Chains A and B, each alone.
Chain A
Amino acid sequence: MLLSSVLSVALLLSSAAVSGAPTLADDNATSEQIDALLKASWKLAGVSPSPRAPDGAWARRLYLDLIGRIPTVDELQAFAAEKPAERRTRLIDRLLSDEYRDERVAWQATEAAILLVGRTGGTTGNSPVHRPGLVQYLREAFAENRPHDQLMRQLVTATGSVRPEDEDFNGAANFLADKLADDGVQATARTAQLFLGVSVQCTQCHEHPFNEQKQSQFWELNAFFRQARVERIRDEDSNRRYGRIVDRDFLGQGVLRQASLDGSERAQIFYELRNGRLKVAYPTFIDGTPLADVMAERGLTDGDTGRLARVNRRAELADLIAASPEFARVSVNREWARLMGYGMVRPPEDMGPHNPASHPELLETLAEAFRQSGFDRLQLTRWIVSTDAYGLDSRAGVSNRDDDPSLGVPPLYSRFYLRQLSAEQIYDSLITATRADEGLEETERAAARRRWLRQFTTAQENDENGEATSFNGSISQTLAMMNSDVMRRATELDTSRWRPAPAAGSASLADAKPQGFLSSIAADPTQTDAQRIERLYLAALARMPERGERRMAEALLATRAGDVGQTLRDVWWALLNSNEFILNH
Chain B
Amino acid sequence: MTRRHFLDHLAGAATLGTTALAFGRTVEAAAATLRRQHKSTVLLWMNGGPPTIDMWDLKPNTPTGGPLKPIATTGEALISERLPLLAKQMHHLSVVRSMSTREADHTRGRYYLHTGFVPNPNVVHPSYGSVIAQQTESLVSGLEIPPFVSIGGSSEGPGFLGMAYAPFQVDESGRVRDAQPLVEAERLNERLALLAEIEGRFAKQRRGAAAGEHAKVLGKTVSLMRSDQMVAFDVDQEPSAAKERYGDSGFGRGCLLARRLVEAGVPFVEVDFGGWDLHAGCFDQLDQKLPQLDQGMSALVEDLQERGLLQDTVILCMGEFGRTPRINGDAGRDHYARAWSAVVGGGGLQGGLAIGQTSADGTAVEGESHSSEDLMATVCQAMGLSLDTKFTSLNGRPMKIAGGGTPIRQLLG
Contacts and interface: CB of A to CB of B under 8 A. Distances in A.
Interface string B149-169: 000011001001001001111
Nearest to A417: B208
A571 interface: yes
A462 B6 contact: no
A47 interface: no
A309 interface: no
A205 B206 contact: no
Nearest to A573: B191
A555 B357 CA distance: 72
B224 interface: yes
Interface in A527-585: 546, 548-549, 551-553, 555-556, 558-559, 570-571, 573-575, 577-580, 582-583, 585
Given A407-B209, A474-B168, A578 B195 contact: yes
B237 to A, nearest CB: 21
B182 A483 contact: yes
A419 interface: yes
A206 B101 CA distance: 12
A168 interface: no
B104 A205 contact: yes
B142 to A, nearest CB: 18
A580 B204 CA distance: 12
B47 A482 contact: no
A552 B337 CA distance: 59
Interface residues of B, number: 83
A165 to B, nearest CB: 29
With most chain B CB atoms within 10 A of its CB, the pick from A458, A475, A479, A571 is A475
A551 B14 CA distance: 12
Contacts of B47: 460-462
With most chain B CB atoms within 10 A of its CB, the pick from A406, A407, A460 is A460
Contacts of B167: 474
Contact of A460 (B181, B182, B210, B274): B274
Interface string B166-200: 11110000001111111000010011111101110
A479 B104 contact: no
Contact of A475 (B160, B168, B191, B202): B168
B394 A406 contact: yes
Contacts, number: 210
Contact of A474 (B102, B205, B217): B217
A418 interface: yes
B195 to A, nearest CB: 4
A202 B106 CA distance: 9
Contacts of B198: 549, 574-575, 578, 580
A396 B207 contact: yes
Contacts of A487: 182
B214 A394 contact: no
Nearest to B162: A473
Contacts of A417: 208
Contact of B169 (A404, A476, A575): A476
B105 A475 contact: no
B146 interface: yes
B105 A491 contact: no
Interface stretch (B87-95, B118-126, B252-260, B302-310): B118-126
Nearest to B9: A555
Given A346-B121, A480-B177, A548-B13, A202 B105 contact: yes
Given A182-B279, A395-B205, A552 B210 contact: no
Contacts of A350: 121
Contacts of A484: 177-178
B180 to A, nearest CB: 6
A202 B103 contact: yes
Contact of B160 (A202, A408, A553): A408
Given A202-B103, A579-B211, A559 B6 contact: yes
B13 A462 contact: no
Nearest to B155: A468
B138 interface: no
Given A206-B102, A274-B338, A458 B182 contact: no
A420 interface: yes
6 contacts: A276-B363, A408-B397, A475-B166, A483-B178, A548-B197, A555-B6
